[in-house]
Amino acid sequence: MNPQMASHRWIAGTLPTPAEPDEDGTVTARCHRRLRGPYTGVDTVLRAVLPEAVRRWPELVDFHRVELLYGMPELEDLIGPAPRTLALDSSYRERTRFFGAGMIRCMSQGVVTFLTEHARRLRTAGEPPLRLLLTQVEHAEPTTQELIALLLRRADPERLRVTVRTGPGELPADLRDALRRYAERAEPAADGERAPGRGGEEAVRSYVRGDCTSDDPAEQRAYREAAPELRARLHDRRAEELERAGAGPGQRVGALTHHREHGGDPAGAGRAALLEAQRYCVEVGFSAAVVDLGLRGRAVTDPDEHQHDFWEFTQQAAAACIPLGRTEQSMELYLDVIQRFPDPKVHMMTSYSIAMLHTRFLRPRDHDLALRWQNNAAAIASILPDEAERLTFSVFHDNGLALVEMHRGNLERALSLVESCIARLDARLTEDQWRLHRSQLLYNRARLLTATDRLDEAFADYSTLVDLDPYYTDYLSERARIHRVRGDFDAALADYDRAVELAPPFPELYYNRGTARAEAGDPKGALADFGYALEMEPDDLDTRLARAELLLEEEEFDAAMADVEAGLERRPEDARLLCMRGTVALQRGDLAEALAALDAALARDPEYPAALLNRAVVQHEQGRPAAAVADLTALLDLVGEDPDVLLNRGIAHLADGRPDLALADFDRALALPGADLAELAAHRARCTG
């Protein structure tokens, strides 16, 4: 990295973190997870910058309100409350919609966008760059570490300069890679002889008062060597201080759980604190924290004395393993509780969870095995002794059966199950009971109606859902899809625009709006959406290909090829990217490069239609009509009777001196819908004239 250019910095070393002699205005944030759990340090940064942002650019803050408050509700004292959603307003008992690591990454992308835009506006106003110093990052919770990696990649250090301070300890791969790629590494500056640390009981007290986050070796050593009774007493005292001071959600996840599980009553007060924290993280979607809290909760819980709590710690940890890609660990945890407990409800809910693993997440998927597990869940639900539980759990598990049947291709059976679920709840519950789950049933019905081409009914359901829960913007996106099928791009774009206004920045949402803008004749708007999606997720191959294709249509050949090459850096053997490389080269007139790329694409995927078509064009242009005929014949075998392919093969037959075969192709094409009658007639005349 050029040392003359501004860059992010990575200060790594074994020295304890000193007070940095930073430039004026640097925002320093400690990121140790024991302070406030997920987003520790991020909240410090936002507390420092939000007052000015609210004063100068309130519309920017309002646009990002959902992301800024989603995992950090304590910030509402600076910017006001978050919008209410059906999920947030539902009790934990009635929650059946939970979010995970993907949602949190999206929220983090929104926070990064806010910070980078705030910094850009500061620089535009002639002010110095925003500078952040993030310390103890090796101890940060994975959510914070992921956000820092995103910030390093996306922030221009001329506007927002990030210094990351790490000590000994493993870093996750994405953060380590971001530091190596985007930050200039420096050793920590020696600040002279460090003053001898305190020892004895006072050092232990200081360490615990600091929530056990001090990197002073003397304090750490004193704590390790202290009597267990003293440590437990100090942890209890600190926990009580936090509770009296009104600890917020972050402190309850971070500091309070640590003190309670290391205090005098880990199996009682510790278990209760961990369970409360885990439930909060489940509701928000902090998957890594849910797993951590669940495993810690299992460690302090007697499975015989507190069976339900042990099961809940396990069930939630197992579910949170899935969005983290830890499906084997998830299955191990589910099988553990089935083996431990004969309780029917445990077996019912765990059978459902294992069914979902098989039908949604494990590779290869096994929908038949999923059906066996889900039938077990539904059977137990149907014989529960409590009438109210029998109703709600039977509906829940019949809805699970519907999902499995949908994956097995039995759409009508799935739709019948969902409609039965809706009817049973409507007949027995008041309007305000289980509202969230009933909205999920309506959503599932709408999706099944769409899959069975009953678009008018699906549209009505999506419209009801939009009115019921406007901030859950999947409904707007699904309704926009129906508008597009109907050819009403103005209405589709109105729904996408509303979703963008209300939602955190889902890359898929910007991709979908971009494709709609392209179809509606707005290439500039489409390129802006594709660009933002790729700024957030540069590995998103669908968006990269869509942008390359649009740039090709706009005859921006260099930019299109740049996108292709960027994609191939990440996936060098991807057939779609290789085909696009060949297509761009073909449009440039570089036939040799085009042929090499298309050959490579077909070597990876011999049945890739676009590569066969474009290679046929190259073969024809290079004077090899027989080879073009072979490619087009292979294409017809794949796609069936297509008038344009038949037209092209007829032209190749003519060039190969086979007017009889050309005439047969032209005549076949003329009989098909969508044929270019004028061009076919002109070429046909060449065969008969």
Per residue in 616-632, pLDDT (tens digit) is 999 999 999 999 999 99
Cα-based distances in Å from 585 to 260, 581, 607, 617, 628: 65, 6, 21, 12, 18
Q: What is the predicted pLDDT for the residue at 18?
A: 45
Burial 495-517 (b: 16+ CB within 10 A, else e): bbebbbebbbbbbebbbbbbbbb
Mean pLDDT of 355-368: 96
Which segment of 6-20, 208-222, 267-281 scores lowest on mean pLDDT? 6-20
266 CB-near residues (< 8 Å, 6+ apart): 260, 300
Helices then strands, each counted (H, E), the chain: 37, 5
Q: Which residue has the higher pLDDT, 341 or 169?
A: 341
Q: How far is CA 527 from the centre of its chain?
A: 22
pLDDT at 586 over 50: yes
Q: Which residue has the higher pLDDT, 34 or 1?
A: 34
Which segment of 109-118, 161-170, 263-272 scores lowest on mean pLDDT? 161-170
pLDDT at 349 over 80: yes
Q: For the beta carbon of residue 627, count every other beta carbon within 10 angstroms.
A: 17
pLDDT at 107 over 80: yes
Percentage, residues of the chain above pLDDT 90? 89
| 364 preceded by a cis bond (ω within 30 of 0) | yes
- Amino acid, res. 197: G
- Amino acid, res. 557: F
Name the residue among 308, 335, 307 with its Cα closest to residue 321. 335
pLDDT at 37 over 70: yes
* CA triple 500-288-144, angle to 5 deg: 65
pLDDT at 21 over 70: no
Percentage, residues of the chain above pLDDT 70? 94
Mean pLDDT of 525-554: 97
pLDDT at 190 over 70: no
pLDDT at 169 over 60: yes
| 507 preceded by a cis bond (ω within 30 of 0) | no
Cα dihedral across residues 624, 628, 631, 633: positive or negative = negative
Q: What is the predicted pLDDT for the residue at 252?
A: 98
Beta bridge partners of residue 164, listed in sequence order:
10, 134
* Digit-coded pLDDT (tens) for 642-652: 999 999 999 99
Q: What is the predicted pLDDT for the residue at 580?
A: 98
Q: For residues 481 and 234, what is the distance between their CA atoms, to the nearest angstrom?
A: 58
Looking at every residue in the chain, the average pLDDT score rounds to 93
pLDDT at 83 over 90: no
pLDDT at 5 over 60: no
Half-sphere exposure of residue 252: CA atoms within 13 angstroms, side-chain side: 22
Q: What is the predicted pLDDT for the residue at 187?
A: 79
Name the residue among 287, 249, 289 with its Cα closest to residue 106. 287
69, 81 in Cβ contact below 8 A? Answer: yes
User: What are 182's two structure tokens?
Assistant: 């985007």
Question: Residue 1: which pLDDT band, with cuts at 50, 70 and 90?
Answer: very low
Pairing mode, if any, of strands 160-166 and 130-135? parallel
Q: For residues 34 and 141, what is the distance between their CA atoms, to the nearest angstrom?
A: 9
390 CB-near residues (< 8 Å, 6+ apart): 381, 382, 383, 384
Q: For residues 390 and 133, what is the distance between their CA atoms, to the nearest angstrom?
A: 54
pLDDT at 20 over 70: no
* Digit-coded pLDDT (tens) for 654-677: 999 999 999 999 999 999 999 999
70, 38 in Cβ contact below 8 A? Answer: no
Question: Residue 3: which pLDDT band, with cuts at 50, 70 and 90?
Answer: very low
460 CB-near residues (< 8 Å, 6+ apart): none
